[in-house]
Structure 1
């Protein structure tokens, strides 16, 4: 039986990989976004997620790939992957970042709960740890950053993501649905790997604020599909990051040079990530497939 998934923000950098992965694995996918997907991998329903009426109508619509199929009657949606958002600070005014991200997520979760959709994957962010978009250099309380960390951001984007996690937990308490929040690291796609040799390896300080985290868009897509296929976890927050730091310097050297005063809670392997993905691997059985060293060689 075909599973139907709605992806919000599927026209964006991260969302397009999720749509492609799900379509390749036989899912019927509909994209909710402001613009169609460039590759038209799935049908896009132009939707303003800050408009509750549009969101409710969209999630109650047919997910059929075209308007010419024999059966256009809306069918139950099995899962939502919610990526639509203003993706960072400094592209719209701060209040708009906050409004769109918070209200968009509330509207998606509210409509899902009232329509009986029992699985929602919500895009949160590594920025919730309060380091990435801090107004000045800021030491975290400890490394590696894990899901138990007392998140304390100061910017509008990260704050919106923290609120979205709280909102997701509230809807889980209300409905018992599975709602998994993914704190996603820096998403890379194939053409980005050329920057390693040209820029990033020459100045490791450029990726200091993101603690040298990264995640290939294709590995992120695999995590989303695994989350759709994993039932019964309830409400969970998981970091989505590669196993290794995005630097040719060992993790210990990066810490010594850029974060010498930050406590380290565990023994780290030579290039181990500082954005812990242990929970992701434990709960979903996720395994990394795309490493920057291999990809950088392909795109040198």
Structure 2
């Protein structure tokens, strides 16, 4: 596939864009900063400028495309570009940048006839991660039907982007899939960060005790590109286990007392449900902090 990938130089994007290129796809990284990977084409694009977005999506990606009779069309857009959290800029530009860039990308993609768009939403849409004070889920495990009522500018922008995406899907009939991505973890972060999480599970409360390995995130995006015909859907994206050594029962007793549980859960199962992604996309996360670090319970 010829893929237009926005934000391919970011923490998550650089891994996913590279992974897609390794799967044999032709990937153009549309970003303000180049990725510099020899398998990915870099194109500097300000996504808040709708003219630049249309121009980039309708244009060449590589010099060798000059040999073709005409400019080839993109088969899919993967939109990861965003101000990635609160407190990086003021709240208003965080919201404006994320909402305007997403509108521009999806409008241009659908008007140019691209039939597959995958965009990054966020775990923050559930209103827990960046809440002022403590917010607990309304029920466990948190699935895609859980209310999305955030209080911060970043998560508000992601909810607005989901509405935008759903509207363009209704207008065009294209497949547009939103990924509510949990806390993105690079492989080296297991040794660097997870010992603290295993010692103090409270550090993971705002992430609903979940995480997503960049390698499994690449698999998730690839599955979205391979599976057609779902229309508009949103999917939680996380690894199968929690990011702490405490069991589900121990976490519930300490942090979620009184929160309803809708079904029986496994001993180490994530509270951030990935059942829908498994069922509709065949998502099958392969990685875990347990592959790198010893489980402290086994040493007790």
TM (normalized to structure 1)? 0.95
Q: In the alignment, is residue 54 of structure 1 matched against residue 69 of structure 2? A: no
1:95 aligned residue: 92
Matches within 5 A, 1:250-261: 250-261=247-258
| Secondary structure at the counterpart of residue 50 of structure 1 | coil
1:7 aligned residue: 5
| Secondary structure at the counterpart of residue 286 of structure 2 | coil
CA distance in 1, matches of 2:112, 2:194: 49
Correspondent of 1:175 among 137, 158, 172: 172
> Which consecutive segments of 4 or more residues in structure 1 shift more than 6 A?
none
CA distance in 1, matches of 2:177, 2:129: 22
CA distance in 2, matches of 1:242, 1:14: 15
| Secondary structure at the counterpart of residue 77 of structure 1 | coil
For the Cα contact (< 8 Å) 2:65–2:71, is it kept in 1?
no
Say how many residue pairs are matched.
294
Cα offset, 1:74, TM superposition: 2.1
| Secondary structure at the counterpart of residue 176 of structure 2 | strand
Matches within 5 A, 1:83-162: 83-162=80-159
| Secondary structure at the counterpart of residue 244 of structure 1 | coil
Q: In the alignment, is residue 224 of structure 1 matched against residue 221 of structure 2? A: yes
1:141-171 Cα distance to aligned partner (Å, 9 max, x none):
1111111111110100011001100100000
Gaps of 5+ in 2: 295-300
Correspondent of 2:231 among 231, 234, 242: 234
CA distance in 1, matches of 2:194, 2:141: 26
CA distance in 2, matches of 1:273, 1:198: 18
CA distance in 2, matches of 1:197, 1:150: 29
For the Cα contact (< 8 Å) 2:194–2:243, is it kept in 1?
no
1:184 aligned residue: 181
2:298 aligned residue: none
CA distance in 2, matches of 1:37, 1:102: 23
CA distance in 1, matches of 2:264, 2:69: 56
CA distance in 1, matches of 2:190, 2:67: 44
Correspondent of 1:293 among 260, 266, 290: 290
| Secondary structure at the counterpart of residue 163 of structure 1 | helix
Greater shift, 194-203 or 92-101, is seen at: 194-203
1:267 aligned residue: 264
Give the 3 Å change call, closer, same or farther, for CA 202–72 of structure 1 in structure 2. Answer: farther
For the Cα contact (< 8 Å) 2:194–2:289, is it kept in 1?
no
Q: In the alignment, is residue 81 of structure 1 matched against residue 78 of structure 2? A: yes
Give the 3 Å change call, closer, same or farther, for CA 58–265 of structure 1 in structure 2. Answer: same
TM (normalized to structure 2)? 0.95
Cα offset, 1:17, TM superposition: 1.5
2:210 aligned residue: 213
1:192-215 Cα distance to aligned partner (Å, 9 max, x none):
101355322121111111111111
Gaps of 5+ in 1: none
Cα offset, 1:280, TM superposition: 0.3
1:16 aligned residue: 14
